[in-house]
Chains A and B, each alone.
Chain A
Amino acid sequence: MSITTSSSADGRELTIRVKGRFDFSTHQDFRNAYENAPAGLDAWIVDLRDATYLDSSALGMLLLLRDHAGGDGSRVRIVNCNPDVKKILAISNFEQLFTIQ
């Protein structure tokens, strides 16, 4: 499965890791990952270290996650982006909505 999740020790932070192509085929798994997460989360992390490719449906999924996490007041970080992924996020100016590392 190309989506794995892990929680921090205190259970307040959830990390969703995406491997391979982050596109429409990962839609359902990605949704399940955050919808089935325990309540009371402070922070969300999307780890893209093993993600090879991001298309516009992936951007859409990130927006859905952001909505789920509280919209404008949410704290969602996108980490370990390779240069290609960074570029895609930059063109869409997603750093205005997410913390990107």
Chain B
Amino acid sequence: MSKARLRILVADDNATDRLIMETLLKRQGHDVRTVLNGEEAVQSFAESRPDLVLMDVMMPVLDGISAARRMREMAGNELVPIIFLTSLNDARDLAACLEAGGDDFLSKPYNPVILQAKIKAFSRLRRLHGEMQRQQEYLVAEQQAAKSLFDRIAHRGVLNASNIRYLLSPMAIFNGDVLLAARQPGGDMLVLLGDFTGHGLPAAVGIMPLAEIFYGMVAKSFGLEAILREINQRLKAVLPSSVFCCATALHLNYRNRHIEIWAGGLPDGVIHCPQEGMCLPIPSRHLPLGILHPDSFRYEPQIVEMMPDAAVYLWSDGVVETTSPEGEMFGEERLLDLFTTARLGTDMFALITQRLREFGHLSDQSDDYSLVQIRPDQAVEAVASREQSVPGTRASRQIGDWSMEYELRVDSLRVSDPVPLLMHMLLQSPGLRKHGSVINTILSELYSNSLEHGILGLDSAMKNDADGFRRYYQLRAERLQTLTEASIRIRAEVMPIRGGGLLRLRVKDSGAGFDFASSAPEGQNPAYYGRGLTLLASLCRRVEYFPPGNEVLVEFSWREQGNEQRVLS
């Protein structure tokens, strides 16, 4: 085996010793540089880094131990073996040399066999060290790749919307924390905070399918249940059993003025309504995503009325686990206290981050937690004005000319929400795409009227107080469950008309109907109450009920001319 040719620095104030060592080393095939004292040794070290340093302990100007210390500082993470040359025999003195920073020592008079053996041993050590550093570099490169992947995914959605404030741990990629937010074409917003088990690349891998499914399905108007079911199924199929995603997801439903929340595995969040003095917990009721078989997946959301000043707060367990220098954890109690004791008008998000920083003596850069605040944003409510100018790029002649009929019977009524699918089909018409928000409102209104009023016989008046709200949805679930025979038929037609396009929707349910012909205006006609007739009338150019009141027809038209599209109402 060929010997490596090393560059060796020899420092000794004794000329004879220097010469002996130089000769020995050169005979073994190494490159040797010699110096007289510690100061020269440091200088030589700085000029050209040797592979090995052989240094006398007792030297004038600068002794060996001090020189060794300076060399270590210069070397940083690199390995530079330093062997002390010493005539000391006392074990304690020799030990002191090693403690002072030497890697080994060699006693005078020099034994060439021992010298050679030690040099070989140190060469091996250097090689191993080099390998370790290379592996370290690979790891860092891998983690940087994971981080850039993560950044691209995280910035796809609407996290920058005005109603979302968030702080995502800079260590998120390593913690598996992820925050996604997107808007349905109809205007509703969905948000998901997730925390994958694992660190680094294994955690980042799960973020990909999670984000792809979330963004893809929200864009197609799918609701929270369908999306979470799909995510759960994909993660279970793709990730190892020990990897799962704790998550809380919510749907800001502007049409129904409610917030729908599913929580599985994250610490309890909070819904804070300062004006009502209300602080509702959001308890985790479900298993995290990616654990359950699709058939066992449960969806039992918390549905809360969308109060005007409500704000939802979600956080990762890093918040609760923030530790003070004394070793105390911030804890859930302290966090909830902030909400219950805060004065009206306090910026809770800023307050929480401030308190966490103070508690953990953290700087901005070391926030190792994720926190998000979501407020229902009034500005993006799905309400169309009578005339809406939407600039287009050029006149679109693709109105479309088609019709379809879709009927749901009991089994489907119980579990499916046809609105996303129908929305998806309707928005295939380019002309309609620009009115997604309005179409969604119309379609959702018609469907829920048929289902909740026509078939289930529910009364919207119940939703007027917080308790009634809960009872309404409870009753809705119960009646849906016990339904034996029912159907809803939806017919959609799109066709060109002079100057633009027309969408005609006809919805018929198997219910008993209601007294639509009564002449009292909506506000005073209890039969109309909650059927949103005023809203429908403001969005559609025609709303007509047919006896016995279980069938309705609406027409929505839009104008296409030149570079502008106008809604005709």
Does chain A bind chain B?
Answer: yes
Residues of B224-249 whose CB lies within 8 A of A:
241-244, 246
A67 to B241, CA, bound (A): 8
A94 to B285, CA, bound (A): 10
From A56, A60, A93, A97, give the contact of B264 (CB < 8 A). Answer: A93
Chain B residues whose CB sits within 8 angstroms of the CB of A57 once the complex forms: 197-198, 242
Q: Are A64 and B293 in contact (CB under 8 A)?
A: no
Q: Are B287 and A60 in contact (CB under 8 A)?
A: no
Q: Are A63 and B293 in contact (CB under 8 A)?
A: no
Q: Are B286 and A93 in contact (CB under 8 A)?
A: yes
A62 to B10, CA, bound (A): 58
Taking the complex as formed, is B288 at the interface, i.e. its CB lies under 8 A from any CB of chain A?
yes
Taking the complex as formed, is A91 at the interface, i.e. its CB lies under 8 A from any CB of chain B?
yes
Q: Are A60 and B285 in contact (CB under 8 A)?
A: no
Q: Are B243 and A60 in contact (CB under 8 A)?
A: yes
Taking the complex as formed, is A59 at the interface, i.e. its CB lies under 8 A from any CB of chain B?
yes
A56 to B284, CA, bound (A): 15
Taking the complex as formed, is B501 at the interface, i.e. its CB lies under 8 A from any CB of chain A?
no
Interface string of A69-101 (1 = CB under 8 A from B): 000100000000000000000011110110000
Please count how many residues in chain A sit with their CB below 8 Å of the partner chain's CB atoms: 15
Interchain Cβ contacts under 8 Å between A and B, 26 examples: A56-B198, A56-B246, A57-B198, A59-B197, A59-B244, A60-B197, A60-B198, A60-B241, A60-B242, A60-B243, A63-B242, A63-B244, A63-B291, A72-B293, A91-B265, A91-B266, A91-B267, A91-B284, A92-B264, A92-B265, A92-B287, A93-B284, A93-B285, A93-B286, A93-B287, A96-B287
For chain B, the bracket of interface size reads 20 to 34
Q: Are A61 and B265 in contact (CB under 8 A)?
A: no
Nearest-neighbour CB distance to chain B for A71, whole angstroms, equals 9
Chain B residues whose CB sits within 8 angstroms of the CB of A94 once the complex forms: 287
A residues with a Cβ closer than 8 A to B are 56-57, 59-61, 63-64, 67, 72, 91-94, 96-97
Contacts between chains A and B (CB distance < 8 A), count: 46
Residues of B272-315 whose CB lies within 8 A of A:
284-288, 291, 293, 296
Chain A residues whose CB sits within 8 angstroms of the CB of B267 once the complex forms: 91
Q: Which 4 A-B pairs have the closest CB atoms?
A: A60-B242, A56-B197, A92-B265, A93-B287
Chain A residues whose CB sits within 8 angstroms of the CB of B198 once the complex forms: 56-57, 60
Chain A residues whose CB sits within 8 angstroms of the CB of B197 once the complex forms: 56-57, 59-60
Chain B residues whose CB sits within 8 angstroms of the CB of A59 once the complex forms: 197, 244
Chain A residues whose CB sits within 8 angstroms of the CB of B285 once the complex forms: 93
Chain B residues whose CB sits within 8 angstroms of the CB of A96 once the complex forms: 287
Which secondary structure characterizes the binding site on chain A?
A: helix
A51 to B242, CA, bound (A): 19
Interface string of B192-215 (1 = CB under 8 A from A): 000101100000000000000000
Nearest-neighbour CB distance to chain A for B334, whole angstroms, equals 16
Residue of B nearest to A71 (CB): B293
A56 to B195, CA, bound (A): 10
A72 to B294, CA, bound (A): 12
Residue of B nearest to A67 (CB): B241
A57-B242, A60-B244, A91-B267 are contacts. A97–B284 as well, Cβ < 8 Å? no
Chain A residues whose CB sits within 8 angstroms of the CB of B244 once the complex forms: 59-60, 63
A63 to B265, CA, bound (A): 14
Nearest-neighbour CB distance to chain B for A100, whole angstroms, equals 13
Chain A residues whose CB sits within 8 angstroms of the CB of B265 once the complex forms: 91-93
